[in-house]
Amino acid sequence: MDAHAPVVGVLALQGAFAAHELALAEVGVATRQVRSRADLAMVSALVMPGGESTTMSRLLATSGLFDELQRRIDDGMPVFGTCAGMILLATEVLDGRPDQRSFGAIDISVRRNGYGRQVDSFETDIHVEGEALPFHAVFIRAPKVVAVGPEVHVMASHDDVPVLVRQGSVMVASFHPELAGDARLHRMFVQHNEIRKA
């Protein structure tokens, strides 16, 4: 492994972070679990996995990570957020708890559990811009995008609702690409942000 190759961090406070690590390994990039400010200092990009967004917001605050992560995002660090990660990166969370904080990193409005409760979870194939084959998307208590800003690029939709969007170096998905056994979206994130392989 190249000691100077960029490391992609995976926020490891909650959620399916190990599955993201496997997808990134398949793409060929080095990863590091991020649980502290010291971990965050060692990475050049970050994946924010699914989980429970209010719990993740609280854990980010109690771990001392929130403000430093906000600074890194504001400085342009590439971030890929999935499900709860999308909620945490959105500029507006329509039904968030009063104490829930988000990073305002991508100009979208989202509704938590917008597709329903756990029992309403579903899987479907979606068309992703630039990809010849469909991507199998797993929606679990997924957030729903209700508005996108003018600088946001919609890369995939389901029933005319954006489910994969990007703005600058920030990419978010309302579903769980790490559970599909398909690393194409992780590869897309790495290539778009010109992250060199290990």
- As given in the structure block, the two tokens for residue 90 are 């959105």
Phi, psi of 118 (to 5 degrees): -55, -40
- Chain-wide mean pLDDT for the chain? 91
Under 8 Å between Cβ of 99 and 193: no
Question: In this predicted structure, what is the pLDDT of residue 115?
Answer: 76
Mean pLDDT of 36-64: 90
Q: Which residues are catalytic?
A: 83, 176, 178
Closest by Cα among 141, 161, 148 to 16: 141
Out of 4-18, 49-63, 77-91, give the one with best mean pLDDT: 77-91
The secondary element (H helix, E strand) that includes residue 170 is: strand 170-173
Looking at per-residue pLDDT, the higher value among 16 and 72 belongs to: 72
Residue 58 one-letter amino acid: R
Question: In this predicted structure, what is the pLDDT of residue 42?
Answer: 96
Domain ranges (residues) in the chain: 7-192
Encode pLDDT of 59-113 as tens digits. Answer: 898 888 999 999 999 999 999 999 999 999 999 998 767 677 899 999 999 998 7
pTM confidence score: 0.93
Which CATH homologous superfamily contains domain 7-192?
A: Class I glutamine amidotransferase (GATase) domain (3.40.50.880)
Residue 160 confidence (pLDDT) above 70: yes
Encode pLDDT of 117-151 as tens digits. Answer: 665 689 999 999 999 999 999 999 899 999 999 99
Q: For residue 141, what is the DSSP state?
A: S
Question: In this predicted structure, what is the pLDDT of residue 2?
Answer: 43
Residue 45 confidence (pLDDT) above 60: yes
- As given in the structure block, the two tokens for residue 85 are 């990660």
Residue 5 confidence (pLDDT) above 70: no
Nearest 10 degrees: CA dihedral of 8, 46, 177, 191?
A: -60
Percent of the chain with pLDDT over 90: 74
Question: In this predicted structure, what is the pLDDT of residue 47?
Answer: 97
Question: In this predicted structure, what is the pLDDT of residue 76?
Answer: 96
Phi, psi of 105 (to 5 degrees): -90, -15
